[in-house]
Structure 1
Amino acid sequence: MKTKIFQKVGLLGAATLLLLASVGCNSEQSGKDDNGNSKLIIYSESATYEGPVDGYMGKYLEDKANVALNVVPNSVGGSSRFETKLATGDLGNLIVFTSAADFKKAIDAGAVLDLKDELKNLPNIARFSKAVDRVKNSFGGVYGIPTGVSASNEVNQIDPVVIPSLRFDYYQELGTPEVKDYWDFYDVIEKMVKAHPTTEGGDTFYGLSLFSEWDGNSVGMAQKVAEAYGYTASDGVNKYSFIMPHATEDKVENLLADDSYYLKSLQWFNKFYQNGMLDEDSVSQTWADFLKKAEKGQSAIWMFGYMGDLNFNPMNQDLVKQGKGYKRIPFANLKAAEAKSSTVGSSWFWAVSSSTENKEAALKLLDFFYSDEGALAYHLGPKGLLWDINEKGEPIVTELGKAPYETAVPEEWGGGKVDDTLKTMFNGAALDGNSISPILNAPMNKTTWKSYLQDNATMLDKNWTKHYDGVLSAKEYMVKNGRVASYTVVDVPNFQYDDLLAVKRDQVGSIIKELSWKMIYAKNNDEFEALKKEMIQKAKSLGYDECVAFEEEAAKVWFKARKAAN
């Protein structure tokens, strides 16, 4: 188990690990390429891509920072390589941590640099003093920088992930029936699937498609309904496994409590299965598989709402021009939990490996990522390619920026395809893309721009806007109607399970995840209830209540801190 491996690593001691690091670094991790660019490896816990940062962003970084990047993802086939990489010192030059526990292990092993003496030469990082202080206070040094930082705390303009998207043209065919709550989507979807059993391309049109690759200690997608009702799996600093604190009220959702949103979501998923409308690959398909189905429009509803707007619609522009495609549906009692842009950053961290031989280049690049220019490049690419600024000083999307993701980029820009972004490759936004860029005087997220929402509105967009009283986005509608439970991310300690409780957490999580998926695929209600009873009994016997009590104490700290901050 992970804990046991770490205990063995701990016995080696920091000095031994650093010795291993000097041996474990391969030649790609140091030196320069044939063009004189410093070669750097980014080891990312959030990446699914492996290979060089090439194409137009590779050329941009060569021209701007004289670096040639290679990305190494943490997970291969769903299995983490972190413990092995830590033991061998093979963490690259720059690291994206999505786990505070892994970040702490790397600190204890001496595998990441303390940047406190480097800050004077890192002006872009140093300006986010609250984020820097948070790491210093939580971990005893500036061993990394939180991702997703912002100059201020503000409600963003982006549509929340948890507002589902539906085939809006099919919804109109049904007369746009009122959807009072999340569960009401089922009846609407059932009618859609009966009327349209296949997609325009001839593929099966499911009522619901899920995926399992991102599951932690439960079925991740079964938590999304609770998020649509004001609960959150993260306070912005910590991630919770078995509870979901409310974003604005001092209460928590216990995943296995009677009538919890988690258990109701599993039953809702099972209803799709029992009636032949669930994508049968849901339990086994990867994120990449899931995306392909989104691009082909193989589900009536996408619980991650952006998969309709940003995956199907751009790939099917001929249909969109005819008013066919996906749009967000803010149901009547929606109250989406959402973190404001944050001056203290998120629960992910950038760090610099202590074994890097290209320290100066690594630090220079990291500081560039935290600059306004570097943040724009991360989120939007080079100015003039996919975006530009018009004569009024407003950001606009170029013709190439409107093109499908697979569209080729001209060789003079570096080639590749439109979707070859830094987010696609290593997924570690230094600055929050929903925050206001002083260069644009607008958010870096193009989907909030007037040029994106209005000037280039399609027939599909116009039909949706007409139905929702003239608003241009779901977020505008939600703010207007009080449907957002937004919260400020405050500086709270990173809570850590002790070794014994961490073992219990992993065992409990494993059984919850296993039996939750079995419940989704239960053949009838009796089997579903029997599996639910088995899951709750086994989870409690393994220490579920102890884990919940620990997380509830952490939630109380958050509740107290946010009251003090408001």
Structure 2
Amino acid sequence: MNLKKKIVTGLLGVSLIASLAACGSEKKESKTDKDELLTVDVYDGLANYMGIQKGWFADIVKKKFNIELNIIAPNVAGNGDTLYQTRTAAGDLGDLIIVDNGKQYNELVQGGLLYDSTDLYQKMDNLKKYDAAVQHLNDGSEGIYGFPTSVSSLSPTTPSEGLELNYGAYIRWDLYGKENYPEMNSVEDLLPVLKKMQEANPTTESGKKVYAFSLFSDWDGNMMNMAKQLGTLYGYDELGFVLAKADGSDYQSIIDSDSQYVRALKFYYEANQMGLVDPESTTQNYDTMYSKYQDGQVLFSWWPWLGQAAYNTTTNLAKGEGFMLAPIKDQTIFSYGAEVYGGKQFIGIGTKAKDPERLAEFVDWLYSPEGALANTSQTQGSAGIEGLTWEMNKEGQPELTEFGKEALLGGDATVPKEYGGGSYKDGVSALNVNTVLGIDNNPDNGYPYNYTMWETYQKENTDPLKQDWTKQMDGAETTLDYLEASKQIEVAPGASYVAPEDNSEISVLRNQIKSTIIEYSWKMSFAKDEKEFNKLLKEMQDTAKGLGYEQVFEVDMANAKDQNEQRISVAKEFAE
């Protein structure tokens, strides 16, 4: 079926889904009077907070549904795999479940841990607007067991991230300017520039030593996560042990000597030799690293939602200080296209949930304009609650309130008691998942959910830092403007591709190999000299190959090419 027709069908109804037979989970009578406070265990693979949701988001959920959310976060708990296996073995992962599509979805459906929401879906009017995505996620299942996240009504070739992409080379622009904006032809040219910036500003106001790079290992998976980031500046993203170009023009083995990944390890090695890498990088976690950005101890960030979020406070911006995208002449930054079939995670209701109907009402609300604005993560420019953080002005345009400016731009604010009180920052939704893409338009007013895309915000968001950046970047008002004008963006069409589950043999091999790659990657980044770096590189390559790397790489390469075929297909389908 043509994609546009699917979307129209979704807007009209769910006749196809309605005909699906319910199976795989026992139906139960729901307690829907809402008189009793319902504590909901939310197993959330994206959450960075463990415990009862608090603050203003908790307040709105309690008032609307008489629900409190108890977040179970494998990211916080420690050994996330063990927690997942333990809870699934017990037959109860959670009342609400937010995990990955593909393998985890299949495991949970087959294991009977997801409630068949086919009947409940008929009343989920907000979600039915994205029926094509719901059908796509549950394709092959005899029921509806999950709801897609990051759904969108935009073209799959539209950058999904908003005015700032997910990746980029972000530097302390104010300090870069003091060095007279040196020209940088490639990412390697960053190093001497950052060295000059460090030498001119060796310590923070608090007396802490300044470094160009501060790393962490929390997110290491098939490889060292912070080494993978360099490839994104040149249009590559990871799939297993493959780095795949967004346009399908190139595929690389991460352990090849000329790969973007090994290039990144050499980059860190050179940076460390120059004294630019924080020596605590090998032992610290994300939170510790983040606090260093807040204190001004770090000069470079691979992501806007790290450097800018931590340091670009109202106070610093007023002084002309902060992170902005660096002009690197040969970059073509990877961008995720809007995924019309949803993102990499889904939301499901657990079979042991006491009140599936009330949970379905809550989930459906998350896809409403009010819910999307309240829940959307800060990285998506969440505007929060109408009347508190934003309002419609006399001209009929959305704009931030004074409280909203303090809370969202100033870093934090104290929430009025009628909205739950406490710190605004502490009350942000701990779900950490986007239901509707932030750049999609709110059907209630026709403007994006993401407040940074509002005209009112852009007119008011003028500060010495942005003005200087715009002056140096050919008059570009935003990062997206600059990258599009300079043809330095590579959009991977949003195909909602999920790699098939590894068989048991490949899974065992992958786990052994990735441990080796990660171990050697960190050693290479901190090698004492070039001879040791090259020795470690060869050992990594030989050890990985000896463990069956080529066998796993063959699987990943096939998946990467399948992913590209789906990207081509969805882009063509939408264009038609």
**TM-score normalised over the length of structure 1:** 0.89
AA paired with 1:350?
I
Contact kept, 8 Å, 1:33 with 1:68, in 2: the verdict is no
User: 1: distance between equivalents of 2:122 and 2:35?
Assistant: 30
Answering whether residue 252 of structure 2 is matched by residue 253 of structure 1, we say yes
Structure 1 residue aligned with 2:91: 89
Contact kept, 8 Å, 1:164 with 1:302, in 2: the verdict is yes
**1:447: how far off?**
2.4
**1:86: how far off?**
0.8
Mapping for residues 503-522 of structure 1, pairs under 5 Å = 503-522=508-527
Contact kept, 8 Å, 2:167 with 2:335, in 1: the verdict is no
AA paired with 1:47?
A
User: 2: distance between equivalents of 1:421 and 1:148?
Assistant: 21
User: 2: distance between equivalents of 1:195 and 1:187?
Assistant: 12
Mapping for residues 195-214 of structure 1, pairs under 5 Å = 195-214=200-219
Answering whether residue 59 of structure 2 is matched by residue 59 of structure 1, we say yes
Residue 337 of structure 1: which of 331, 334, 339 is its match? Answer: 334
SS in 2 for 1:426: coil
Answering whether residue 396 of structure 2 is matched by residue 393 of structure 1, we say yes
Structure 2 residue aligned with 1:191: 196
User: 2: distance between equivalents of 1:374 and 1:123?
Assistant: 13
Contact kept, 8 Å, 1:60 with 1:382, in 2: the verdict is no
User: 2: distance between equivalents of 1:346 and 1:512?
Assistant: 28
Distance of aligned partners of 1:560 and 1:217 in 2 relative to their CA distance in 1, 3 Å threshold: closer
User: 1: distance between equivalents of 2:456 and 2:426?
Assistant: 23
Contact kept, 8 Å, 1:208 with 1:300, in 2: the verdict is yes
Residue 146 of structure 1: which of 145, 148, 168 is its match? Answer: 148
AA paired with 1:96?
I
SS in 1 for 2:556: helix
**1:130: how far off?**
2.0
User: 2: distance between equivalents of 1:201 and 1:534?
Assistant: 42
User: 2: distance between equivalents of 1:361 and 1:149?
Assistant: 22
Structure 2 residue aligned with 1:278: 277
Mapping for residues 447-466 of structure 1, pairs under 5 Å = 447-466=452-471
Structure 1 residue aligned with 2:358: 361
Residue 551 of structure 2: which of 537, 543, 546 is its match? Answer: 546
Answering whether residue 103 of structure 2 is matched by residue 109 of structure 1, we say no
Structure 1 residue aligned with 2:19: none
**1:491: how far off?**
5.4
**1:493: how far off?**
5.7
Structure 1 residue aligned with 2:295: 296
More deviation, 187-196/520-529: 520-529
Distance of aligned partners of 1:209 and 1:346 in 2 relative to their CA distance in 1, 3 Å threshold: same
User: 1: distance between equivalents of 2:462 and 2:125?
Assistant: 40
User: 1: distance between equivalents of 2:456 and 2:43?
Assistant: 36
User: 2: distance between equivalents of 1:77 and 1:122?
Assistant: 32
**1:252: how far off?**
1.2
SS in 2 for 1:282: helix
Answering whether residue 354 of structure 2 is matched by residue 351 of structure 1, we say no
Mapping for residues 401-480 of structure 1, pairs under 5 Å = 401-403=404-406, 404-423=410-429, 425-480=430-485
Distance of aligned partners of 1:453 and 1:187 in 2 relative to their CA distance in 1, 3 Å threshold: farther
Structure 1 residue aligned with 2:386: 383
More deviation, 409-418/351-360: 409-418
Contact kept, 8 Å, 1:313 with 1:325, in 2: the verdict is yes
Contact kept, 8 Å, 1:93 with 1:353, in 2: the verdict is yes
SS in 1 for 2:280: coil
Mapping for residues 474-489 of structure 1, pairs under 5 Å = 474-489=479-494
User: 2: distance between equivalents of 1:195 and 1:150?
Assistant: 45
Answering whether residue 370 of structure 2 is matched by residue 373 of structure 1, we say yes
User: 2: distance between equivalents of 1:523 and 1:140?
Assistant: 58
User: 2: distance between equivalents of 1:138 and 1:280?
Assistant: 50
Contact kept, 8 Å, 2:169 with 2:233, in 1: the verdict is no
Could you say what the CA RMSD is over the residues aligned between the two structures, in angstroms? 2.3
More deviation, 526-535/322-331: 322-331
Structure 1 residue aligned with 2:309: 310
SS in 1 for 2:557: helix
**1:474: how far off?**
0.8
Structure 2 residue aligned with 1:215: 220
User: 2: distance between equivalents of 1:293 and 1:492?
Assistant: 36
AA paired with 2:194?
I
User: 2: distance between equivalents of 1:561 and 1:45?
Assistant: 26
**1:77: how far off?**
5.2
AA paired with 2:110?
D
Segments of structure 2 that go 5 or more residues without pairing to the other structure are 1-23, 377-382
User: 2: distance between equivalents of 1:194 and 1:428?
Assistant: 40
User: 1: distance between equivalents of 2:498 and 2:461?
Assistant: 45
SS in 1 for 2:138: helix
Residue 155 of structure 1: which of 137, 147, 159 is its match? Answer: 159
Contact kept, 8 Å, 2:56 with 2:428, in 1: the verdict is no
Answering whether residue 144 of structure 2 is matched by residue 134 of structure 1, we say no
SS in 2 for 1:442: coil
**1:98: how far off?**
3.2
Contact kept, 8 Å, 1:150 with 1:432, in 2: the verdict is yes
Structure 1 residue aligned with 2:174: 169
**1:492: how far off?**
4.6
Contact kept, 8 Å, 2:54 with 2:427, in 1: the verdict is no
User: 2: distance between equivalents of 1:303 and 1:384?
Assistant: 35
**1:92: how far off?**
2.0
Contact kept, 8 Å, 1:146 with 1:345, in 2: the verdict is yes
Distance of aligned partners of 1:426 and 1:564 in 2 relative to their CA distance in 1, 3 Å threshold: closer
SS in 2 for 1:385: coil
SS in 2 for 1:232: strand
User: 1: distance between equivalents of 2:171 and 2:154?
Assistant: 33
Segments of structure 1 that go 5 or more residues without pairing to the other structure are 1-16, 23-29, 234-239
Residue 325 of structure 1: which of 310, 322, 327 is its match? Answer: 322
User: 2: distance between equivalents of 1:214 and 1:373?
Assistant: 32
AA paired with 2:402?
E
AA paired with 1:287?
Y
More deviation, 386-395/497-506: 386-395
- Spell out, residue by residue over 1:267-318, the C-alpha distance to the aligned partner (whole angstroms, 9 max, x if none): 111222222221112122212112211211211111123322222112xx33
Contact kept, 8 Å, 1:335 with 1:484, in 2: the verdict is yes
Contact kept, 8 Å, 2:195 with 2:274, in 1: the verdict is no
AA paired with 2:447?
A
Distance of aligned partners of 1:32 and 1:370 in 2 relative to their CA distance in 1, 3 Å threshold: closer
Contact kept, 8 Å, 1:166 with 1:300, in 2: the verdict is yes
User: 2: distance between equivalents of 1:95 and 1:420?
Assistant: 22
More deviation, 173-182/384-393: 384-393
Contact kept, 8 Å, 1:508 with 1:544, in 2: the verdict is yes
User: 2: distance between equivalents of 1:273 and 1:440?
Assistant: 50
Contact kept, 8 Å, 1:135 with 1:141, in 2: the verdict is no
SS in 2 for 1:444: coil
Distance of aligned partners of 1:287 and 1:492 in 2 relative to their CA distance in 1, 3 Å threshold: closer
- Spell out, residue by residue over 1:320-351, the C-alpha distance to the aligned partner (whole angstroms, 9 max, x if none): 21212221224212211112222101111111
More deviation, 279-288/440-449: 440-449
User: 1: distance between equivalents of 2:427 and 2:200?
Assistant: 38
Contact kept, 8 Å, 1:38 with 1:361, in 2: the verdict is no
Give aligned pairs, total. Answer: 532
User: 2: distance between equivalents of 1:34 and 1:288?
Assistant: 37
- Spell out, residue by residue over 1:66-122, the C-alpha distance to the aligned partner (whole angstroms, 9 max, x if none): 322221112345411100111123422111103632232222211112223332122
**1:437: how far off?**
2.0
